[in-house]
Amino acid sequence: MSSVDRLVILDTTLRDGEQSPGVALNVEDKLTIAHQLARAGVDVIEAGFPNSSPGDFAAVRAVAEQVEGPVIAGLCRCSAEDVRACADALRPAASARIHVFIGTSPIHRDGQLHLSPAEVRERAVSMTALARTLRDDVEFSPMDASRTEPEFLADVVAGCIDAGATTVNLPDTVGYATPDEWRRLIAWMYEQVPRLRDVVLSVHCHNDLGLATANSLVSVVAGARQVETCVNGIGERAGNAALEEIAVATRMHPQVYGVDTSLDHTQLYRTSRLVSQLTGMLVQPNKAVVGANAFAHQSGIHQDGMLKDRRTFEIIEPHEVGAGSSLVLGKLSGRHALRERLNQLGYRLDEEDLRRAFVRFKQLADRKRDVTDRDLEAIVADERQSGTELYRLEHLQVSCGTNLRPTATVRMALPGGSSREAVAVGDGPVDATYRAIDSLVPVSAELEEFAIQAITEGMDAVGEVSVRVRKNGTLRAGHGADTDIIVAAAKAYVHALNKISAGTPPPD
């Protein structure tokens, strides 16, 4: 190996990230994120699981048709139907990868698949071979590798390499492994399967024990040359290794990891914000690299050090990841300036979406002296979802105070072009608002989570509300933003109810 090797970054935000509870991305959302991932320099975009639903097939096909640069990958189970559907969805892509997987651990073989070890191996090898007849780039994953008997794992991997796999991915599917044992397993696999050195060894680490990034990084030390990530570390259960964390850690410690990536680090922050907006999943303030507090210093000792030399308490400068570089627009800014800045932020708006966003921008500029990138992100998130809503908030008025019972008057636009109005009282202004909405929207759902944060500074800050609602076991997230936090709360709730009303099937 050379002193600095190339580390391939496969990002699975559009597949594993979408499997986060409450997240359901439509084709337009997936395209927007995919274009931004390409702009950020990701090597491989896992666009979805084509045979899981018609919607996912359409999304993978759209990404394959419209996104240039990265390899476009699709996930499939070890069945001929899955493999052929995946190849069909990827057909328009100039560079594409079929990613085949099967559970190999005793728990998966016995409890889920009801297959013997020999049957699992046969399916893995035969479907890898089939995929190779359809695309030259094939990845094989033995799901739950960390709980699979090492000897059986090595046998299956060797068979799939012989069948044509060009990348072998070892998934810590349930985040069970510790860094020491995971590193030892990879070293052992290289010893037992010499042909691993002829292909790319990849890892896919989950965060159930908070070790996804650590396990991914020790994998690189052990010889892995592809890491599978999600933006903001989202994904099944506790999530996946975070793209931004892997990127910055490997860049800051070249002497430890000996790898370089093709990532544009100045795009990390805006990629994080875009994914947060479109998924409705807030980034916790103390999140590494992209959290709101990542570059904030409150301690007097820290502040004194920062004023004298930023290096005393800051190993990453904000501009290195694209944070703190917000371009401020004002009420004199025109439509062209707005379009250009939104393009830079990763948003691709058609003329109607841009028109609505420009109206909102002008309204906000009349209330705020400066409109920042975070404000623009909030506007776009609201306007993009309003164009396809069955139910839309038209009017909200709330009365509350120390000696008043909170009362909300709500008018909603309903399917068919009609409008209805309702009045409700509640324990607080948000409760009253939600009760009024419930009386107008015929969707019975239970509110499970409610989160609020100010996304810009000052008394005129835009507030962002994220909610999660559940109906019949289906969890959906909603997002809303406004300078009036009660209006933002109403928008978020209506957004979530619209998702449930649309009947979007949850990802597998």
| pTM of the complete model | 0.84
Q: Strand order in 446-454's β-sheet?
A: 446-454, 463-471, 474-482
* Cβ-based neighbour number of residue 415 at 10 Å: 10
Q: What percent of the chain has pLDDT over 70?
A: 91
Mean per-residue pLDDT for 160-164? 98
Cβ-contact 495, 480 below 8 angstroms: yes
Assigned token pair, 358? 């420009």
pLDDT digits (tens, 9 = 90+) for 261-297: 999 999 999 999 999 988 888 898 899 999 988 876 4
Q: Summarize the confidence of residues 480-493 as an average pLDDT.
A: 92
At residue 297, the pLDDT reads 45
- Are the C-beta atoms of residues 469 and 497 closer than 8 Å to each other? yes
For 355-393, what is each residue's pLDDT tens digit? 888 888 888 888 777 788 878 877 787 676 665 678 999
Report angle CA 372, 347, 380 to the nearest 5 degrees. 55
**3-state per-residue secondary structure call for 440-507:** HCCCCCEEEEEEEEECCCCCCCCEEEEEEEEECCEEEEEEEEECCHHHHHHHHHHHHHHHHHHCCCCC
Taking residues 397-426, what's their average pLDDT?
Answer: 95
pLDDT in tens, 54-101: 999 999 999 999 999 999 999 999 999 999 999 999 999 999 999 999
Q: What is the average pLDDT across 452-464?
A: 72
- Give the Cα-Cα-Cα angle 181, 187, 191 (nearest 5 degrees): 135
pLDDT of residue 376: 85
Residue 303 has a pLDDT of: 44
Which one has a higher pLDDT value, 64 or 484? Answer: 64
Please report which confidence band the pLDDT of residue 462 belongs to, taking 50, 70 and 90 as the band edges: confident
* Residue of 165, 161, 205, 210 lying closest to 182 (CA atoms): 205
The pLDDT value recorded for residue 80 is: 98
In this model, does residue 326 exceed pLDDT 90? no
Q: Which residue has the tokens 């994220």?
A: 466
Weakest mean pLDDT among 181-185, 268-272, 314-318: 314-318
Range scoring the smallest mean pLDDT among 22-26, 43-47, 164-168, 227-231: 22-26
Instruction: Examine the pLDDT at 350 and tell me if it is beyond 60.
Output: yes
What integer pLDDT is reported at residue 203 of this predicted model? 98
Segment 486-496 mean pLDDT: 94
